[in-house]
Chain A
Amino acid sequence: MTVGTPASTVLDKDGLDALIALLAGDGRTVIGPTVRDQAIVLAEITSGAELPYGWGVELEAGHYRLRSRTDGAAFAHSAGPQSWKTYLHPQRERQWTADLTADGDMEVREETSQPPAYAFIGVRPCDLRAIAIQDRVLGGGPHADTRYAARRRQAFVVAVECTEPGATCFCVSMGTGPAVGPGYDLALTEVVDGGGHRFLARAGSAEGEEVLSRLPHVPADEETAGTARRLVEEAAGRMGRTMPEVDLRALMQETLDADRWNDVTARCLTCGNCTMACPTCFCTSVEDVTDLTGEHAERWRRWESCFDVDFTHLSAGPVRASPLSRYRQWLTHKVGTWHDQFDSTGCVGCGRCIVWCPVGIDITEEAHALNAERAAARGAGEVSR
């Protein structure tokens, strides 16, 4: 294959190592999956050896365990405890600093520190969509977050198609995977079989093409391309969860008084884990920090959650004081009013909220239950068409 064409090529493990070295050599902070604290986390990596070769995960509601894999695959694991928002939309960031001047005025300086240029290795299709959703929320509109936009503009995204969905995955229902959608610089599909351990690679941007051309690669052979396609197609048939095939936005609007909210609220700890694990939840609060001299102040922004009582605290107290109102706010916003606000759903079907809920509350089970309750109330059989 001629260098410079967007057609697919094949990298081997050395090629993947070379990719990481090349991106790091270009001055990027390379973030990828790696094993730490008995989980596959996202962290800075400096070589391909740090990727979770030979590790998979066993997922269920409220349950996550590492499992070793005999095939040695690096990306045959589902979404982990963190998402890319950890880097693109950091949990705490300074907005400005202010100092008292000699004449008693305040001098305010916007935060101008240069955010790192990231390269993300192993962005799954569901997470690629989650990034696109956060782009819409944080990067656009009249209140665009310039620092988010700067990090995003610089980020080099290496997506990896999903060939190993977990028991909590439902990207097919949300239309986000397991095949990769737009928004990547490079897309890989991992193939491990008698033909070796290799990665079908194609560029999705000029920069991706340029990077790919600098790597040791061979043109994609028919067999590798065909196997990669088949693995992704098969993955689509192995989703552990589904959403009801109805208009979820309408479902939320029509079930605001459903009994099911009482049922789920009885189980919900209101701990906030679902929102923190969610790759699209973006809410923040600000904290003002002053020092002991009283001459220096800083404003920081930090992740906040609609499960926090203080999130809606106004002069008369919290607007959403009851756990029911908070859980309902989260779910109806995520798959309902998100459409009104941002022209899309806020859910990508990654299943993190199901896995990382300590008591295993399952967003898909709740949606099915609300749908069933609505159908029963209508006296019609339209449960899940």
Chain B
Amino acid sequence: MSDEEPEDARPRLAVWKFASCDGCQLTLLDCEDDLLALSGKVEVAFFHEAVTAPDEGTYDVSLVDGSITTPEDAERVQHVRAVSRRLVTLGACATAGGIQALRNYADVAEFRAAVYARDEYIDTLATSTPISAHVPVDFELRGCPIDRGQLLEVITAYLAGRTPDTPAHSVCFECKRRGTPCIVVARGIPCLGPVTHAGCGALCPAYGRGCYGCFGPSYSTKFPAFIPLLRRDGMTTLDIVRVLRTFNTAAPEFDAASRQEELG
């Protein structure tokens, strides 16, 4: 019998953080009952939130949390891509630039001078951009935060060698499947459901609150037809710009619609 440890055949998983609140990567730890099964099937080799001795090298799957906001991160994401067979972005920051992409509409130098006493120590980019703006991405998970079930779906799909199943239709599908009477039609509540990507299970409308688009745009949005609906239900131009400029503000469809709205 050899003294050497048997080689670990489990796929190696890494979790990377860029500009984010960490909520999406912590979703992995929130998997609770599935976490033990998961750690039996994949080697969590690199994860600052959970692994005390990060294992350098290459990885079968990299989960990337956060957007690119500094020159250093713009370089680091190139390294992540180079050492990863599959790269999956986690949530609104990594997939669309996050709430911090509000800087894209303003003068960052001005912010920096207002916030920091000695702003010469701050090295930041003028924009917050999604991972896909820098390197090729294999799969993008939506949401702020991501849905735990969808994260497990992506990992199990890769383990089984199949395509992940994360429908790109509107949140309306999920309200109807859940049996929630439409809050736009029955209550006149402004709701981004018709233009928002499914995946949350239509959580907010089930509690009488309008969807605020935290999963970003669906694969088929029609803003010219949709915006008048928000206005009918009481939103002003400022309200509309604001509701489109949250976690997915830099998603191309939301960005174009909010800019169009500002132009009037």
Point out residues on A near B: beta carbons under 8 Å: 36-39, 41, 62-66, 80-82, 86, 91-92, 266-273, 276-277, 287-294, 297, 302-303, 305, 307-310, 323, 355-359
Report the bound CA distance from A224 to B165 in whole Å.
56
Interchain CA distance A296-B92 in the complex, whole Å: 31
Interface size class of chain B, counting residues whose CB lies under 8 Å from the partner chain: 35 or more
B179 touching A41, Cβ below 8 Å: yes
Cα A14 to Cα B165 in complex, Å, equals 50
Shortest Cβ distance from A276 into B: residue: B176
For the complex of A and B, the 4 pairs showing the least CB-CB separation, nearest first, are A276-B176, A39-B181, A271-B194, A81-B181
Among the listed A92, A267, A310, which residue makes an inter-chain contact with B225, where contact means beta carbons less than 8 Å apart?
A267
A-B pairs under 8 A by CB, number: 129
A contact residues around B159 at 8 Å (CB):
290, 292, 294
What are 19 A-B contacts defined by CB distance under 8 Å?
A37-B180, A37-B181, A39-B186, A41-B181, A63-B185, A86-B179, A269-B222, A269-B225, A273-B176, A276-B173, A288-B162, A305-B169, A307-B220, A309-B168, A310-B168, A323-B222, A356-B182, A357-B185, A358-B184
A272 touches B170 (CB 8 A): yes
Also in contact, A81 and B182, with CB within 8 A (given A276-B177, A303-B177): yes
Contacts of A81 in B (CB 8 A): 179, 181-182, 185-186
List the interface of chain B (C-beta within 8 A of A): 34, 37-38, 40-41, 152, 155-157, 159-160, 162, 165, 167-170, 172-173, 176-177, 179-182, 184-187, 193-195, 208, 219-220, 222, 224-226, 228-229
Q: How many Å from the CB of A359 to the closest CB on chain B?
A: 6
Minimum CB–CB distance from B31 to chain A (whole Å) comes to 10
Q: Which residues of B contact A63 (CB under 8 A)?
A: 185
Distance between A303 CB and nearest chain B CB, rounded to angstroms: 6
A268 CA to B224 CA in the complex, in Å? 10
Are A308 and B194 closer than 8 Å at their CB atoms? no
Chain B nearest Cβ from A374, distance in angstroms: 25
Since A271-B193, A292-B152, A359-B226 are in contact, a sample of 8 more A-B pairs with Cβ atoms closer than 8 Å, ordered by chain A residue number, is A63-B185, A81-B186, A91-B177, A269-B222, A292-B159, A308-B167, A309-B220, A356-B185
Given A272-B173, A273-B176, A358 and B156 touching (CB < 8 A)? Answer: no
A269 and B37 contact, CB distance less than 8 A = no
Q: Is the CB of B220 within 8 A of A270?
A: yes
Are A359 and B181 in contact, CB atoms less than 8 angstroms apart?
no
Q: Which one of B165, B170, B222 lies within 8 Å of A287 (CB-CB)?
A: B165
